[in-house]
């Protein structure tokens, strides 16, 4: 039996952060498919046995069940001694960028992609335009940061970079724009992350893709 189980599904960038981290640290793990699109996370069984918040990912490690991707990244980094910030000042800086990422970067990219691809009827174009404006602004901030250093905190990747990876590798046609072309510093950072041992695409790491027609 693997040491870790990750409740996840392929379309979720939040799940991808945790799955990617497990792979990057060389953990012994397996994915457990969560059928999000058929409402599994909203069932009483899921909320009583897996996660009361009704969300994925959830990391199962022995008797522990951890939710929220930032908590999972921090837990795994400390256990493995890899991708950790260096000292208290960097810990605060990593937390600052993880929160910014969750709220402003992937916090807009994720809902935008969900609305564009899976919500029926299609959302009002004005809603998508609002999200797109916020996405461009937030990615611009990240791009300026990555023009100064290879990774968010400097010369080596940390959990802040793993968090940022959440939605940045999904196909451009799922967004309707190519963020790599629009933000070259982010595109270069994506290539550096892809070069790390253990990196894999979200659709290769987690179950549920392609979705049934």
- pLDDT score of 159: 98
Judge if the upstream peptide bond of residue 132 is cis by omega within 30 degrees of 0.
Answer: no
pLDDT in tens, 123-174: 999 999 999 999 999 999 999 999 999 999 999 999 999 999 999 999 999 9
- pLDDT score of 213: 67
| Residue 80, CA distances (Å) to 118, 123, 146, 153 in order | 36, 43, 26, 19
- pLDDT score of 211: 87
DSSP strand pairing (29-33 vs 4-8): parallel
- pLDDT score of 212: 77
Mean pLDDT of the 61-68 span: 97
Domains annotated for the chain, with CATH where assigned, are 4-82+199-205 (3.40.30.10), 87-194 (1.20.1050.10)
Mean pLDDT of the 1-23 span: 98
- pLDDT score of 177: 95
């Amino acid at each position: 039996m693997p040491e870790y189980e990750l409740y996840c599904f392929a379309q979720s960038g939040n799940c991808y952060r945790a799955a990617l981290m497990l792979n990057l640290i060389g953990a012994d793990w397996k994915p457990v498919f969560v059928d999000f699109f058929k409402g599994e996370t909203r069932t009483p069984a899921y909320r009583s046995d897996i996660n009361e918040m009704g969300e994925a990912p959830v990391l199962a490690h022995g008797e522990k069940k951890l939710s929220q991707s930032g908590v999972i990244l921090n837990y795994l980094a400390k256990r493995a001694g890899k991708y950790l910030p260096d000292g208290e000042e960097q810990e605060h800086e990593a937390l600052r960028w993880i929160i910014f990422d969750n709220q402003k970067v992937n916090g807009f990219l994720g809902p935008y992609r969900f609305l564009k691809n899976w919500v029926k009827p299609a959302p009002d174009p004005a809603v998508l335009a609002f999200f797109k404006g916020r996405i461009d602004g937030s990615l611009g901030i990240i791009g300026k940061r990555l023009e100064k250093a290879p990774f968010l905190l400097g010369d080596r990747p940390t959990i802040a970079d793993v968090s940022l990876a959440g939605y940045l590798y999904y196909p451009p046609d799922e967004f309707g724009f190519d963020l790599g072309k629009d933000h070259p510093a982010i595109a270069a950072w994506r290539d550096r992350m892809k070069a790390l041992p253990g990196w894999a695409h979200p659709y290769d790491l987690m179950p549920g893709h392609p979705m049934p027609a």
